[in-house]
Amino acid sequence: MTALSVNVNKIAWLRNARGGGRPDVVALAKRIIAAGADGITVHPRADQRHITPADTVALGELVATERATYPNLEFNIEGNPYNRARRNGYPGFDALIETCRPEQCTLVPDADGQLTSDHGFDLLGGSNARLLARIRRYQALGARVSLFMDPVRDQISAARDCGVERIELYTGPYADAFAAEGENGDGTRRELARYQAACEHARAIGLGVNAGHDLDLDNLPLFARIGNVSEVSIGHALISDALELGIEETVERYAAALA
């Protein structure tokens, strides 16, 4: 069964738009867990546009506490491993991993001004020594490391050579094809086949596979049929649906779509 990790960035983004403490990220994360999510994901960016370092610490503490009731619950911190401390109070990605000790950290090659993560690592263009050092550091802190990757066979093989346990496939192209053509469109089926081949290759060479980006209640059931995906991380669409359906029903529907 594919695990559902809910990215709560957009809850913090809404709170930050007004200031104060509403909506309460930690309180809603607790409800998300109780509704059936298998994990909580955050992507704390250096500009603190949504999840803050304080949120990250508080959510890590929540997951640790809730694990008494939900033993397999996980905390996943995403981000660019090269982000250093900033004057605005962002402590750097390394410091967040050291403080929070998440079960998983997902490394993403995003730039400061990037609206959202929209491409995977290019591991074929030169030395990966700097990235390897970060991977080893986080593994030594107890985290399973996943690299955000495009569904490209040679890139996935290079990720395996970096010694990570998993990859997270960037699913934007599949979601775009589905939105344009629907479930039975030729483009959708081509993209689905591409992701299935990438997933099968990753599994064959010993990598676990996560997936995420623009997955929603419409396109998730078809994507889930490719099988062998350990986890999906979903934020924007799920939180948007929760405005209409309520958070508990929304989480339940996403879990059902995966099943």
* pLDDT for residue 115 is more than 70: no
The string over 205-224, giving b where at least 16 C-beta atoms fall within 10 Å of a residue's C-beta and e elsewhere, is: eebbbbbbbbbbbebbebbb
Catalytic pick from 43, 50, 103, 168? 43
Q: Quick one: which of 169, 191, 195 has its CA closest to 180?
A: 191
Whether 50 sits among the annotated catalytic residues: the reply is no
The lowest-confidence range among 5-19, 114-128, 166-180, 223-237 is 114-128
Whether 244 sits among the annotated catalytic residues: the reply is no
Q: pLDDT digit string (tens) for 40-83?
A: 999 999 999 999 999 999 999 999 999 999 999 999 999 999 99
Q: Phi and psi of 34, rounded to 5°?
A: -65, -30
Is the pLDDT higher at 115 or at 1? 1
The string over 98-135, giving b where at least 16 C-beta atoms fall within 10 Å of a residue's C-beta and e elsewhere, is: eebbbbbbbbbbbeeeeeebeebbebeeeebeebeebb
Catalytic pick from 50, 201, 213, 231? 213
Which are the contacts of 141, defined by CB distance < 8 A and separation ≥ 6? 97, 98, 101
pLDDT score recorded for residue 114: 64
Catalytic pick from 74, 78, 103, 231? 78
SS3 assignment, position 144 = strand
> Amino acid identity of 91?
P
pTM here? 0.95
C-alpha to C-alpha distance for 94 and 82, rounded to whole angstroms:
8
pLDDT score recorded for residue 110: 86
C-alpha to C-alpha distance for 216 and 234, rounded to whole angstroms:
8
| Averaged confidence pLDDT in the chain | 96
